[in-house]
Structure 1
Amino acid sequence: MKIAKYWDDFLVGDTYTSEKRTVLEEDVERFAEISEDMNPLHLDENFAKTTPYGKRIVHGMLVLSKVTGLHYGLGVFKGTSLGVVEIQWKFKKPVFIGDSIQFEARVENKIETSKKDRGILIRSILVRNEHGEIVQEGKFVNLIRRK
């Protein structure tokens, strides 16, 4: 696990990559239960066969949630992230049960705030499946502790 980084430690242009994670059927079922999104597109194989995808797809918000978890797993924001301020996000391609996802992040900007103990960090995120296809992308804006 990497050491936590403060706002001051990041440079515009810095990049980092997450580990890969496979999206399991149990993940989809648990997410449907927690989110109450019971769309048959995610849960009913027979229904999903009648859609343009031909099979069940993973909730887009589940993939986004996994990205936030993968961020935490990197350790670079452990104890320094003070929360998400904004997310700008695009869902480019479906993710299917059994797909493995991984993200690449790039620091786009750092903004000082009026409070000297924190700053804004803006990162662009590309989420890829195991075939290298971009399935989701966007920007995370976080409030990060300063030294």
Structure 2
Amino acid sequence: MAKYWDDFQIGETYKSDSRVVQEEDVMQFASLSEDMNPLHLDEEFAKKTPYGRRIAHGMLVLSKVTGLHYGLGLFKGTSLGVLEIQWKFRKPVFIGDSIEFVASVEDKIETSKKDKGILVRSILVRNSNGDIVQEGKFINLIRRRNG
């Protein structure tokens, strides 16, 4: 069920479903983004890196997080766009890892327009082992209920 800016409470948390990062995801993202770094695509090259095997593009994982957000239905028809993303890449995500996130509403900022407000959320992305692999903040413009 979609939520409006007014419905969110500071300190409120919610969790995504988990999704596996598949080989096909990496290949399609490489093609779409034109990021052909062998770290993502060449197993022999990747074996000689500190990771010892291929890793998913960090931006692919971030993109999956935005998709997982949309899949929750909380912002369906109420999100008016991303204003800012502040993001840190902590650990690699490997092909075959599952990822999920926990989000916490950090702030709600009124705007001069009564039909929308700014929602600030902290996001922690974890892998299959529970390690934090990415984290940051999403700052979005959200419709208000009675705007």
1:142 to 129, 137, 140: 140
Mapped to 2, the partners of 1:52 and 1:12 lie a distance apart of 40
Structure 1 vs Structure 2: percent identity of aligned residues?
79
TM-score scaled by structure 2? 0.98
Aligned to 1:54: 52
Q: CA deviation at 1:67?
A: 0.2
Mapped to 2, the partners of 1:12 and 1:144 lie a distance apart of 15
Is 1:17 the equivalent of 2:15? yes
* Amino acid corresponding to residue 137 of structure 1 in structure 2: E
* Amino acid corresponding to residue 30 of structure 2 in structure 1: A
Q: CA deviation at 1:9?
A: 0.0
Is 1:93 the equivalent of 2:95? no
Aligned to 1:38: 36
Moved over 6 A (4+): none
Length, aligned pairs only:
145
Aligned to 2:107: 109
**Structure 1, unaligned runs of 5 or more:** none
Aligned to 1:77: 75
RMSD: 0.2
Aligned to 1:6: 4
